[in-house]
């Protein structure tokens, strides 16, 4: 199904022509309306007229996360504050957050993109979507809510936490779709198991939309198996409207990035040089339709690649592969670069491993991986436990090229969160 077939199936030539038209307008717009970009362009001796093709985008200066923090609260606005109707912030671990402003038109366009995504995966006005994301300053809850309402689905604004209430709502109102973090979905699966209930029989659930946390293909399969549903990967960030920047179609072979609203590039995260399609690097995004706060060549720090092969669904917007990690999430053990998602991918593919784990960094030479294992494994023989531990250690060593220390834990013994999971504890900074 299509929300807007004329745009979603636009020929590559016409799509790139539209991108160039919108890019030129955006460059002129920010130069005349945004004090931040006028100053940045002047400092870099850049003029909007220099961009005559999409290749010319490489001449536009980057925008960095620190630019948003240093110019907090109003420094990147391109309109008068009175024209904005909503503020979201994306928090950081230290210092000021990133303030993201929306005009009424920006909110409408964001909802349209979510509507595209939901219809692409089969949602209609007959569906019930339970939104288990935060409705606070985080963009995930409200943007998804508006998009689902635009499709005509019944939306339950459940928010995060209060798992018993979540289960009651799903059962009582026949929830067919959920918007949820991967870690919380795994937690709910555990709750059903502890209650002796099978969610495949107790619920009318058809699909889940995963966001806010990177997750592996193996985690997707665990969730699909536990609930008997389709799980769709989504990508978004507050700086680019929140969820709905890119989304999987029914074939789940990469996420269609909506190229009429964004231009994507893949760059070498060290040199900043553009990389060819198919090569993995850092995703850089430029908004093409934002009014309140356009952002140019934003360094997302998310690592992925562009998939150029045509998709069976017929949409012409290119896809990005599953995010493999963030450049700032990477940690180094014994001189080896490691992403947390590498560890998750291995763990979720091992029979006998349960759904929760924790990575603990004690020094630059010591990596501890704490793993919950299924009860039947924990109650097994000493030899069985030793064999499972050796299997986990061996597969992680093959993937990471360093030997981790493995700790096996009983199901439900590691800390869990009903919101976004904290998977890495870095004691090296203490």
Contacts of 55 (CB under 8 A, 6+ apart): none
What is the per-residue pLDDT for 211?
Answer: 86
The rounded mean pLDDT for the chain is 92
Q: Under DSSP, is residue 247 helix (H, G, I), strand (E, B) or coil?
A: strand
- Beta-sheet strands, E only, within 221-273: 230-237, 242-248, 255-257, 262-267
Between these two residues, 37 and 415, which has the higher pLDDT value?
Answer: 37
422, two tokens = 């904290």
- What average pLDDT does the segment 109-116 reach? 97
Torsion angle of alpha carbons 239, 243, 249, 255, nearest 10°? Answer: 30
Distance between start and end Cα atoms, the chain: 52
Cα–Cα dist 397/394, whole Å: 5
* 3-state SS record for 86-144: EEEEECCCCCCCEEEEEEHHHHHHHHHHHHHHHHHCCCCCCCEEEECCCCCCCHHHHHH
What is the per-residue pLDDT for 418?
Answer: 67
Domains of the chain in sequence order: 1-328 (3.40.50.12780), 331-429 (3.30.300.30)
What is the per-residue pLDDT for 6?
Answer: 96
DSSP state for residue 323 in the 8-state scheme: P
pLDDT at 391 over 70: yes
Q: Which of 29-38, 60-69, 145-154, 360-369 has the lowest mean pLDDT?
A: 360-369
pLDDT at 91 over 60: no
Task: State pLDDT tens for residues 162-182.
Answer: 999 999 999 999 999 999 999
pLDDT tier for residue 93 given thresholds of 50, 70 and 90: very low
The residue assigned the tokens 């929830």 is: 175
What is the per-residue pLDDT for 202?
Answer: 95
Task: State pLDDT tens for residues 240-261.
Answer: 988 999 999 999 999 999 999 9
pLDDT at 94 over 60: no
Cα–Cα dist 94/76, whole Å: 20
| Residue 368: burial class (beta carbons within 10 Å; 0-12, 13-18, 19+) | middle
3-state helix, strand, coil in the chain (%, to 5): 35, 25, 40
Residue pair 316/11 in contact by the 8 Å Cβ criterion: yes
Contacts of 285 (CB under 8 A, 6+ apart): 240, 245, 262, 263, 264, 265, 295, 297, 298, 300
Residue pair 320/304 in contact by the 8 Å Cβ criterion: yes
């Amino acid at each position: 199904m299509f929300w807007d077939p004329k745009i979603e199936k636009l020929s590559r030539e016409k799509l790139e022509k539209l991108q160039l038209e919108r890019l030129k307008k955006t460059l002129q717009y920010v130069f005349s309306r945004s004090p931040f970009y006028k100053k940045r362009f002047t400092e870099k001796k850049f003029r909007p007229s220099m961009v005559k093709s999409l290749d010319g985008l490489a001449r536009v200066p980057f925008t960095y996360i620190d630019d948003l923090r240093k110019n907090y609260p109003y420094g990147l606005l391109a309109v008068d504050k009175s024209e904005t109707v909503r503020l979201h912030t994306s928090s950081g671990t230290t210092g000021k957050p990133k303030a993201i402003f929306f005009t009424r038109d920006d909110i409408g366009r964001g909802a349209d993109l979510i509507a595209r995504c939901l219809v692409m995966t089969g949602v209609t006005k007959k569906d019930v979507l339970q939104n288990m994301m935060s409705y606070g300053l985080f963009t995930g809850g409200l943007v998804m809510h508006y998009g689902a309402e635009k499709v005509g689905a019944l939306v339950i604004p459940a928010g995060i936490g209060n798992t018993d209430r979540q289960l009651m709502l799903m059962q009582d109102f026949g929830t067919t779709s959920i918007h949820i973090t991967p870690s919380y979905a795994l937690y709910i699966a555990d709750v059903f198991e502890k209650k002796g209930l099978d969610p495949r029989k107790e619920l009318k659930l058809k699909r889940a939309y995963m966001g806010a946390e990177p997750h592996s293909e193996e985690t997707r399969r665990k969730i699909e198996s536990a609930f008997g549903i389709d799980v769709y990967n989504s990508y978004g960030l507050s700086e680019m409207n929140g969820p709905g920047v890119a989304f999987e179609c029914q074939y789940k072979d990469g996420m269609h990035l909506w190229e009429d609203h964004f231009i994507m590039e893949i760059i070498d995260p060290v040199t900043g040089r553009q990389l060819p399609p198919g090569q993995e690097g850092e995703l850089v995004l430029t908004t093409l339709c934002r009014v309140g706060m356009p952002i140019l060549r934003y360094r997302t720090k998310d690592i992925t690649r562009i998939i150029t092969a045509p998709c069976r669904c017929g949409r012409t917007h290119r896809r990005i592969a599953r995010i493999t990690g963030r450049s700032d999430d990477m940690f180094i053990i014994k001189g080896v670069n490691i992403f947390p998602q590498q560890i998750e991918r291995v763990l979720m593919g091992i029979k006998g491993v349960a759904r929760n784990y924790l990575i603990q960094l004690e020094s630059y030479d010591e990596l501890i991986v704490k793993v919950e294992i299924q009860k039947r494994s924990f109650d097994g023989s000493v030899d069985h436990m030793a064999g499972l531990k050796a299997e986990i250690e061996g597969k992680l060593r093959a993937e990471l090229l360093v030997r981790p220390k493995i700790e096996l834990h009983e199901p439900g013994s590691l800390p869990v969160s009903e919101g976004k999971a904290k998977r890495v504890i870095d004691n090296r900074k203490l």
